[in-house]
Amino acid sequence: MPAALTVFRVFLLLAASPGIEKHFVRLLKGARDWWSGKKIAVIGPTASGKDSFLARLQNREIPEVHSNSPMGEKVRSFRVKLTLSNHQVIDITCKGVINIGGETDYRDAPSGWLSVCADADVVFYVMTVNDLSKKRYLKGRRIRQDLDWLQTAMPHLKPGALIHILINKIDEEIESHIDYRSLAEELAEELGALNTTVKNVLHPYESSYTGATLISMKNKQIYTRAVNDALRSVYSAFHGTVKRKKVE
């Protein structure tokens, strides 16, 4: 899906047009089956919202104040209940999710990010919309360093592991803007640049990258729709990879 469209959808959420809702939140059975029992890992810079994401997945409110997560803190397996249209609820089981703080020492320590990601099927990298607009994915900067780290980590991950980026705190950006259309255009441009960077940096593992989704852990409405979107994107990217492999 073109980036501009994805961004624009987030803003449409605010308008909450009833007609589009059904289309937005539908997750097909194939995708639900695929996600069922998947193991996810959540990594990213400090205070990006990793604990908030895990809280939302467990239907809890997000932590108000930021407390640095201790290294290698384990989070028990939990079932994710996703509410779809027609009041339909689906269960997704996330097994052995491990949470970890975001400092670079955590990343590079032996019991750091690698041990977290090692047996995950899907790795969620959480960054903020501020990281995106401040272009922290450019060479030498924090997000880029993490992407470089991911590239070197790829051969040590589970074969076929997928990487998805969550761009959090979109609510802050929405609050501080009035012209949503120009904001959407700006963000779309940045998203395009980010995607290009990620694919270049991850080479030759770029097919593991399933894209980036704008999200807000704080705003439940945006969270709910964005997470459905992210799950669907991961699944369709996976599907595309499998199809491409078959053709080859």
Ligand X SMILES: Nc1nc2c(ncn2[C@@H]2O[C@H](COP(=O)(O)OP(=O)(O)OP(=O)(O)O)[C@@H](O)[C@H]2O)c(=O)[nH]1
Q: Which of residues 150-209 bind Mg ion (CB under 5 A)?
A: none
Pairing label, strands 78-83, 89-94: antiparallel
Residue count, binding to ligand X (CB under 6 A): 24
In the list 6, 52, 69, 213, the residue contacting Mg ion (rule: CB under 5 A) is: 69
Q: Virtual CA dihedral for 108, 109, 111, 117, nearest 10 degrees?
A: 0
Residue count, binding to Mg ion (CB under 5 A): 3
CB of 168 to Mg ion, least distance (A): 12
- Residue 172 interacts with ligand X (CB under 6 A): yes or no: yes
> Residue 248 corresponds to which amino acid?
E
Site string for ligand X, 132-171 (x = CB under 6 A): ------------------------------------xx-x
In the list 31, 39, 42, 51, the residue contacting Mg ion (rule: CB under 5 A) is: 51
Q: Which H, E and C letters describe 158-178, residue by residue?
A: CCCCEEEEEEECHHHHHHCCC
- Residue 46 interacts with ligand X (CB under 6 A): yes or no: yes
Query: Would you say 9 or 50 has its CB closer to Mg ion?
Result: 50
104 C-beta neighbours (distance < 10 Å), count: 15
Query: Would you say 47 or 120 has its CB closer to ligand X?
Result: 47
Q: Which of residues 192-221 bind ligand X (CB under 6 A)?
A: 216-218
Q: Specify whether the CB–CB gap between 168 and 226 falls below 8 A.
A: no
Q: How far apart are CA 101 and CA 47, in angstroms?
A: 8
- Residue 47 interacts with ligand X (CB under 6 A): yes or no: yes
CA 17-192-143 angle, 5° bins: 110
Query: Would you say 55 or 118 has its CB closer to ligand X?
Result: 55
Pairing label, strands 209-214, 162-168: parallel
Site string for ligand X, 91-120 (x = CB under 6 A): ----------xx------------------
Task: Write the DSSP assignment of 216-238 as a string of letters.
Answer: -SSSHHHHHHHHHHHHHHHHHHH
Task: Write the DSSP assignment of 58-102 as a string of letters.
Answer: TT-PPPSS--PPPTT-B---EEEEEE-GGG-EEEEEE-S-EE---
Query: Would you say 39 or 50 has its CB closer to Mg ion?
Result: 50
- Residue 52 interacts with Mg ion (CB under 5 A): yes or no: no
* Contacting residues toward ligand X, per CB under 6 A: 44, 46-52, 62-66, 68-69, 101-102, 168-169, 171-172, 216-218
